[in-house]
Structure 1
Amino acid sequence: MSEAIAILAGIGLAAACGFRVFLPLFIASLAVQTGVDGVGGFELRSLLGDSLPWLGTMPVTIAFGVATVLEVGAYYIPWLDNALDTVSTPAAMIAGTLVAFAFFPGIMDDGYLKWAIAAIAGGGTAGVVQGGSVAARGTSSATTGGFGNVVVATTELIGSVVTSILAVFLPLIAGLLAIALCAIVITAFVRIRRRIRAKA
């Protein structure tokens, strides 16, 4: 059961990476630093120690903290937010893969197979959520001239914080939330594509 919970935690954090790249990594690293072990039926420190031990070190926690502040602030600067999306999309997928690999339990192969599963489950989840964020910001930019982007940025920030915290303390809910987010984004894209085809 604890292995399944760890997987859900990894997927939840990956989804949070789709909103903000560094914040979920910072929260996960900070949770280890503050001794949040055993929450949700798994031990953060032992999981990270088995997969990516450096993710729970103090220098990395500080680095992720600084990167989080810079990233969050940058999304409140007009037009820079749209430019960041071109970089954030692949970065979110990489971060999602990384955090999924870190949290996926040792019952999986620690070699290429585990990385492949992490890329599909973690990177894919982060990519889908990020795609929804990019679409929302693009729509806001087109309809409000960028003035509504503050609302989008704030919503993304809240989504990343809430999903990250849930992944640490309530992994089951975080995993279900990640699946729901992916379903919503994919459904929306399918509907938009159908409308475009119908007009054509």
Structure 2
Amino acid sequence: MEESLQQIAPYIPALLLGVALSAASGFRVFVPLLVGNLAAKFGLFSLAENMTWLGETPATIVLAIAVVFELAAYYIPVVDNLLDTIAGPAAVLAGTLLTTSFLHIEDPVLQWGLGLVAGGGVAGTIQAGTSLLRLGSTKFTAGLGNNILTSIENFMSVVISLFAVWIPVLIGFIALYFVIWVWRKLYQRRQAKNSV
């Protein structure tokens, strides 16, 4: 048992960093990718050998432009709801990519599998929650509350991304706790409906 823990231990910080950045990609897709790019570029974290392109200058330029457009586009009425439709699968892809890029595992099936389950799952769950909030805001405020929601989401994406780089273990546990909490609530609702 102790030997198994010693084999797994080196991957835990990288996995938690990836999960934390994936949580931020549930709010905005490109902000955590840019933060991950800059963290790798400045040597705060190393990328897996097959993912070094994420830390290179062309990726920095493309991601910086994408961040500006993404943050601005969510302030345009109607476009914000359309972006949520695209952002669902894009957040899962970004979460998978982020988690996979920090895992230094030689087996690509295990590397991408962990990335998809841990990173993609967290990003997809948070993105689904923000999409539902935006739909509710559009319905009950005729879209007037969406700009406030957008500002909160932008802020959360930036703050979680920055904290993830500095405190990956804490943010990773918070993100995992949030996902477990959401799933438990959904399960309890389903059980309550089935018992009626």
SS of structure 1 residue aligned to 2:143: coil
1:11, 1:125 within 8 Å by CA — same for their partners in 2? yes
What residue is the counterpart of 1:23 in the other structure?
A: 31
Asked if 1:182 corresponds to 2:179, the answer is yes
> Does structure 1 residue 130 correspond to structure 2 residue 127?
yes
Return the alpha-carbon distance in structure 2 between the equivalents of residues 36 and 99 of structure 1.
Answer: 16
* Percent identity of equivalent pairs: 39
When structure 1 is superposed on structure 2, of 178-187 and 74-83 the one drifting more is 178-187
- Post-superposition CA distance 1:44-93 (Å, at most 9, x none): 1xx31524010000110110010011001010111110011111100000
Asked if 1:167 is matched to 2:146, the reply is no
SS state at 2:144 partner = coil
Aligned residue in 2 for 1:151: 148
Q: Hey, what's the Cα distance between the residues in 1 that align with 2:189 and 2:66?
A: 34
Q: Which amino acid aligns with 2:47?
A: L
| CA distance in structure 1 between the aligned counterparts of 2:61 and 2:107, rounded to whole angstroms | 27
CA contact (8 A) 2:74 2:80 kept: yes
8 Å CA contact 1:26–1:61 kept in 2: the answer is yes
Structure 2 residue runs of 5 or longer lacking an equivalent are 1-8
Mapped pair 1:11 → 2:19: yes
SS of the counterpart of 1:126?
Answer: helix
- Distance across 2 between alignment mates of 1:192 and 1:82: 26
- The two structures, once aligned, show a CA RMSD in angstroms of 1.9
Partner of 1:67: 66
Q: Distance in 1 between matches of 2:170 and 2:10?
A: 14
User: Aligned-pair distance for 1:94?
Assistant: 0.4
> Once the 2 structures are TM-superposed, how far is the Cα of residue 2 of structure 1 from its aligned partner?
4.8
TM-score by length of 1: 0.85
Q: What CA distance in whole angstroms lies between the structure 2 residues aligned with 1:32 and 1:165?
A: 13
Letter paired with 2:16: L
- State the match for 2:137 in structure 1: 140
Distance apart, 1:4 and its partner CA:
1.4
Aligned length: 187
Alignment-mate amino acid for residue 100 of structure 1: T
Provide the residue aligned with 1:40 in structure 2: none
